[in-house]
Amino acid sequence: MAECVRVEGSSHSMDKSITLPPDEIFRNLENAKRFAIDIGGSLTKLAYYSTVQHKVAKVRSFDHTAKEVPSDKLYEISVQEEITARLHFIKFENAYIETCLDFIKDHLVNTETKVIKATGGGAHKFKDLIEKKLGLKVDKEDEMTCLIKGCNFVLKNIPHEAFVYAKHADSEFRFQNTHPDIFPYLLVNIGSGVSIVKVESEDKFERIGGSSIGGGTFWGLGALLTKTKRFDELLQLASKGQHTSVDMLVKDIYGGSYGSLGLTGDLIASSFGKSATADKDFSKEDMAKSLLHMISNDIGQLACLYAKLHNLSRVYFGGFFIRGHPVTMHTITYSINFFTKGEVQALFLRHEGYLGAIGAFLKGAEEDNPNQYSWGENYAGSSGLMSVSPDINPMQRARSGTFPFDMLEMDRLERQLVNLPLLQDASSYIPDTVDLTEDALAREYWLSCFEEALDGVVKRAVASQPDIPEAAERAEKFRQKYRHKLQTLRHQPFAYGSLTVRSLLDTREHCLNEFNFPDPYSKIKQRENDVALKYYQKAVKSLEELSWEERQFALVRGVLAGNVFDWGAKAVSDVLESDPEFGFEEAKRQLQERPWLVDAYDQWIERLKGPPHKCALFFVDNSGMDIILGVMPFVRELLCRGTEVVLASNSGPALNDVTNGELQILTERIAAMDPVIQSGLKEDRLTLVQSGSSSPCLDLSRLDKVLAMVVRERQTDLVIIEGMGRAIHTNYYAMLTCESLKMAVIKNSWLADRLGGKLFSVVFKYEDPTRKPSKDTVALTPS
């Protein structure tokens, strides 16, 4: 049922002189178009679509046949302006609506916009104000349709959108994998009343039931019983109360439990049952608590009955009764567990408050086909879960002079992302090896590690733009932003879903992009590629002189040694910076001798003695020595064996990882020197694809659609994943339907220590799903 409009809210209209922080809120307003607004009982959610102009690093090959080659560099790097699409969602209290509308009017440049899509129970109340202030026509959209549309959108596009709430667990939020098929599901929307909606597909949904006992009942009855007016205050009262003085429990009737029915003594037999018989006064807190239990249990029970009737196991809860309130999430979870004996889990959504606004926006943007694209949450621009603590009374926040708002930003991705078709079970695939939300020790280490590395990142960012004077200033802003993010994550590790090394790295990339440092390593990568390329032929020649057995081992050691060159790992970047001559041979000497920390090399060699693989998919890692002297000779050997090779590299820059653009040029140059690579390219046996990612880690459930297609067409039967980011921090436990090889050097002493190894320990994990798993597997979590 609809969210109610708070009538008494009008009594505290906010001071209009409040200044909004324009750098932080309503960003990119000058390019904004397609507005949508969702006005609920107390919060307004504004959505708009905007284009963001930001700098990207592009590489372009020099024409090496021409005489006028300006330098001996392989390729040139140019920083270009690129325009990408971004969705902005801002949530603020209704009291600020006029201030916000004025601000938007003053900053809105785009005059094409004529209409604002509106939804929510308060839309009609503010219709005239919006039309007057913005000069836009308010076009009302059905609330439930918007809600469902928004829900589908976040479930499809935001990993870790849904979570299970467990109050007493180590981490209160247990995030769920994005299921490849989000349908069917049940959405229980608890506004003033309750609507239970079964969603079967993008366009097919049905209200299968509901209840009049909802958030409005809690609020209305609560206000009558406790003389407390505000919803938030009622929840606060409830969290302090004891319901057992008001409710009649099973033990009040039985003296204990009702054993034959399995009803425990503490179970509520009759809500408010004691307030009829006892003639004493009840505390506000106790009554509020009893009321909260009564309503949560009732809703939970109905939800379970409907879930059972329609045979649905995924049940999402939303509406203002739930909206980020730990108290109600806990009582609803408890109720669902009780009534289904754990068969159904209550699921909540990180962006639940935005669903209506997202849906209304999508209704208005249908001609842009937003559902054709993949979208990604921008960690730099989004506030994260619980950024505005519901425990703080909004009136107090207003008095403190700050303007509380919450933001969600989503970038339209250039590529449509899908699952790797070779995942054994896409629905249970978890990219990340360690969940830092749950592992406090690891969390503490990695947060500190990223904090310590920040100076170096800032330094390199400035160095990457030597000709731009204001780069230092921007880099400083980046530092502040990322440091703030790290601080937030220290207190709220669940802010963006499960905290992982990957999310920490991705957040850093997002922040760098935000301040126009699209590729701080571009020049370093260029230099390293130049140097490495000079050694390519020599390296290949020396490999060819070896016997077959010796060569296979040298090839593997080559990949591993190449992988030591990694600016992403602090231990290595220190050495690289102090000793630029640190060479390939030196790297080999650093490697751990066999037996390695994880050593399936013997099985791999046995396998190589058999028939060649049909096609290998190789997820590559760093530029320079790694790709040129490590990976390419390995690829060359595979091609010689008659195995086709698909090289998957990042679509966009991340650290010193080789990008698809760079790899195209490098491969052409190598092909010019090496007939094996040359013919591989020509005969289409060596293919370069982009991963669709701009992360130093790898999420096999979000890969470029083209990559998935190629993998299927080529009947890929071997997946090779290289490097710490892709094979250790992520995918260490990934189960594939074909053979896989995971190779990495542990370049972090803390992690090495935890795994029982030393710095530069080697992980060489070969798995064949048709055979028994190797017993050398090291558990990456402490025992």
Q: Which residues bind other proteins (CB under 8 A)?
A: 1-2, 4, 6-8, 121, 142, 144-145, 191-193, 195, 207, 209, 211-217, 219-221, 223-225, 229, 246-248, 250, 252-256, 258, 260-261, 268-277, 282, 287, 294, 297-298, 301-302, 305-306, 308-309, 339
Cα(55)–Cα(571) distance, integer angstroms: 30
Least separation in angstroms between residue 96's CB and other proteins is 21
Got the DSSP string for 319-373?
Answer: STTTTT-HHHHHHHHHHHHHHHTTSSEEEEETTGGGHHHHHHHHHHTGGG-GGGS
Residue matched to tokens 């104000």: 129
Least separation in angstroms between residue 286's CB and other proteins is 11
Considering beta carbons, is residue 93 or 767 the nearer one to other proteins?
Answer: 93
Considering beta carbons, is residue 211 or 526 the nearer one to other proteins?
Answer: 211
Instruction: Walk across the sheet containing 75-93 and list its strands.
Output: 137-140, 115-119, 33-39, 43-61, 75-93, 405-412, 375-377
Considering beta carbons, is residue 45 or 274 the nearer one to other proteins?
Answer: 274
- Helix, strand or coil, per DSSP, at residue 772: coil
User: Measured in Å, how far apart are the chain's first and last C-alpha atoms?
Assistant: 49
Cα(359)–Cα(47) distance, integer angstroms: 10
Considering beta carbons, is residue 173 or 320 the nearer one to other proteins?
Answer: 320
Distance (Å) of CA 463 to CA 79, 523, 667 = 14, 9, 28
Considering beta carbons, is residue 224 or 440 the nearer one to other proteins?
Answer: 224
Residues 6+ apart with CB under 8 A from 727: 721, 742, 743, 744, 763, 765
Maximum pairwise Cα distance, the chain: 102
Cα(277)–Cα(246) distance, integer angstroms: 10
Least separation in angstroms between residue 301's CB and other proteins is 6
**Which of 351, 308, 347 lies closest to 208, judged by CA?**
308
- Bridge partners, 526 (sequence order): none
Q: Do residues 745 and 564 lie in contact, with contact meaning Cβ atoms separated by under 8 Å? A: yes
Q: Do residues 123 and 39 lie in contact, with contact meaning Cβ atoms separated by under 8 Å? A: yes
**Which of 418, 413, 426 lies closest to 706, judged by CA?**
418
Considering beta carbons, is residue 166 or 213 the nearer one to other proteins?
Answer: 213
Distance (Å) of CA 56 to CA 52, 333, 491 = 12, 45, 33
Least separation in angstroms between residue 244's CB and other proteins is 13
Least separation in angstroms between residue 150's CB and other proteins is 16
Cα(97)–Cα(710) distance, integer angstroms: 50
Residue type, 465: Q
Residue type, 726: R
- Helix, strand or coil, per DSSP, at residue 487: helix
Least separation in angstroms between residue 448's CB and other proteins is 47
3-state secondary structure 567-594: CCCHHHHHHHHHCCCCCHHHHHHHCCCC
Least separation in angstroms between residue 726's CB and other proteins is 47
Residues 6+ apart with CB under 8 A from 762: 560, 591, 592, 596, 597, 598, 599, 743, 744, 745, 746
Least separation in angstroms between residue 353's CB and other proteins is 19
Considering beta carbons, is residue 359 or 520 the nearer one to other proteins?
Answer: 359
Distance (Å) of CA 137 to CA 34, 96, 115, 121, 129 = 12, 20, 5, 18, 11
- Environment class of 431 (CB within 10 Å of its CB; exposed 0-12, middle 13-18, buried 19+): buried
| CB-CB neighbours of 205 under 10 Å | 22
**Which of 390, 381, 377 lies closest to 351, judged by CA?**
377
Instruction: State the alpha helices, DSSP H only, in 36-179.
Output: 97-107, 127-134, 143-157
